[in-house]
């Protein structure tokens, strides 16, 4: 899936003084006062490099507040003139792009509900041809890395070089802790495919609730994200959209002060200890694979035995027993239960595959 995208580094288009980029501001622009007061609050706290505000709001259900539209764009201009903060808005149609440009919006982002649709993304790409504006692309609502990558290919194909990826998590069918499941591994995979594209964490839309913002922000920083986009509102409880996840500028500053930003690079003292620990991991991983290989050879013998005695591959009772005992053993070893469960699902799937293969071979004479 490697595409060669021509991307300009983040710091060539925005100066963050070497710190992670922070885009902050309300979920939605609601009124001139609300935008100005929030922007002033951020400036007074000395936080934020960019002011965000949704002007056109893609709402899951009709009847919710759908944004102020064009009317709100001059409010952003005013906020920028007063605070010096460049402004960012979400665009979902060519008309949004045109209006955003007309009112001097500095940065555009494509929302998660737009990234899912290649027709929409292509329309946006066509509308962006010839523009020199940074475009941030949120991950699609469903956990599909290829859709996210495809959106970058389309927008880059229109000649946009100032690109960034926003990881906002993925919608989940069941009621779980976070509003959107982070599925960090998808963002990490994205980063390994496109190390040149800045990765920006959106803890607000992952969390859904203020209480979870700090842990998600810390996680993004621990994974070396290049920046964050966090919703901030002068009076979060009164917000017209996403009230439960927004913070006042002062609370946002407090939250950020509790976050450790770790260095991506390290000095030579750390290097040798790091090398030593990594070597131990290399060694242990090798042993893990050797154990797996031994396990597979027993699986193969078991497959032959079942075949020769005409017994089906899958015995549900046995699988339930395996599942339960491994969960208990993992617990006793203080391993994360979900990891143990996933691991054994994979191992079991592979055992079934192997035994089915053996079943379909003629017995050795």
Whose CA is closest to 19, among 9, 28, 11?
Answer: 11
> Minimal distance in Å, beta carbon 176 to ligand PEP?
17
The dihedrals phi and psi of 156, each to the nearest 5 degrees, come to -65, -35
- Residue least distant from ligand PEP (Cβ): 111
> Minimal distance in Å, beta carbon 161 to ligand PEP?
23
Binding mask 191-230 for ligand PEP (x = CB under 6 A): --------------x-------------------------
30 touching Mn ion, by CB under 5 A: no
Q: How many residues bind Mn ion (CB under 5 A)?
A: 2
Helices and strands of the chain, counted as H and E runs: 13, 10
Q: Using the Cα atoms of residue 277, residue 283, residue 285 and residue 288 in order, give the sign of their dihedral.
A: negative
Q: Rank residues 105 and 112 by Cβ distance to ligand PEP and give the closer one.
A: 112
> Minimal distance in Å, beta carbon 189 to ligand PEP?
19
| Two structure tokens written together for 268 | 């030579």
Whose CA is closest to 235, among 55, 51, 62, 30?
Answer: 30
Using CB under 6 A, pick the residue from 96, 138, 167, 233 that binds ligand PEP: 138
The dihedrals phi and psi of 157, each to the nearest 5 degrees, come to -65, -25
27 touching Mn ion, by CB under 5 A: yes
Which parts of 88-171 fold into alpha helices (H)?
Answer: 94-102, 112-115, 118-128, 145-157
CA distance 30 to 25: 12
Q: How many residues bind ligand PEP (CB under 6 A)?
A: 9
> Minimal distance in Å, beta carbon 229 to ligand PEP?
7
Residue 137 CB burial class (10 angstroms; 0-12, 13-18, ≥19): buried
Q: Rank residues 201 and 330 by Cβ distance to ligand PEP and give the closer one.
A: 201
168 touching ligand PEP, by CB under 6 A: yes
Residue that has been written with the tokens 């592979």 in this structure = 350
Alpha carbon 110 to chain centroid distance? Answer: 14
Which of ligand PEP, Mn ion, none does residue 210 bind (CB under 5 to 8 Å by kind)?
none
Binding mask 111-130 for ligand PEP (x = CB under 6 A): xxx-----------------
CA distances (Å), 365 to each of 153, 281, 360, 361, 362, in order? 56, 43, 15, 12, 9
Binding mask 234-273 for Mn ion (x = CB under 5 A): --------x-------------------------------
Q: Rank residues 112 and 199 by Cβ distance to ligand PEP and give the closer one.
A: 112
List contacts with ligand PEP (CB under 6 A). Answer: 27, 54, 58, 111-113, 138, 168, 205
């Amino acid at each position: 899936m490697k595409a060669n995208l021509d991307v300009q580094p983040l710091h060539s288009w925005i100066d963050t003084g070497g710190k992670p980029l922070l885009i902050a501001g309300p979920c939605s622009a609601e009124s001139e006062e609300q935008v100005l007061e929030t922007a002033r609050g951020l400036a007074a706290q000395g936080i934020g490099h960019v002011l965000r505000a949704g002007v056109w709001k893609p709402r899951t259900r009709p009847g919710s507040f759908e944004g102020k539209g064009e009317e709100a764009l001059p409010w952003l201009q005013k906020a920028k003139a007063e605070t010096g903060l460049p402004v960012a808005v979400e665009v979902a149609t060519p008309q949004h792009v045109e209006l955003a440009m007309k009112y001097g919006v500095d940065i555009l982002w494509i929302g998660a509900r737009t990234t899912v649709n290649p027709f929409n993304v292509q329309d946006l790409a066509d509308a962006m041809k010839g523009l020199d504006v940074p475009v941030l692309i949120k991950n699609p609502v469903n956990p599909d890395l290829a859709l996210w990558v495809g959106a970058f290919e389309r927008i880059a194909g229109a000649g946009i070089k100032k690109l960034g990826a926003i990881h906002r998590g993925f919608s989940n069918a069941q009621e779980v802790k976070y509003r959107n499941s982070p599925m960090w591994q998808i963002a990490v995979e994205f980063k390994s495919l496109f190390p040149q594209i800045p990765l920006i964490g959106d803890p607000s839309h992952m969390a859904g609730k203020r209480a979870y913002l700090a842990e998600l922000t810390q996680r993004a920083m621990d994974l070396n994200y290049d920046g964050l986009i966090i919703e901030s509102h002068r009076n979060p409880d009164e917000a017209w959209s996403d009230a439960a996840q927004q913070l006042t500028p002062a609370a946002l500053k407090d939250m950020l002060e509790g976050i450790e930003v770790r260095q991506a690079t390290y000095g030579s003292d750390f290097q040798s200890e790091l090398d030593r620990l990594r070597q131990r991991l290399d060694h242990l991983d090798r042993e893990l694979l050797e154990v797996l290989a031994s396990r597979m050879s027993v699986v193969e013998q078991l497959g032959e035995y079942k075949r020769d005695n005409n017994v089906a591959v899958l015995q549900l009772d046995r699988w339930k027993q395996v599942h339960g005992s491994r969960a208990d053993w993992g617990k006793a070893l203080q391993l994360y239960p979900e990891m143990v469960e996933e691991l054994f699902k994979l191992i079991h799937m592979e055992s079934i595959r192997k035994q089915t293969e053996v079943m379909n071979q003629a017995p050795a004479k």
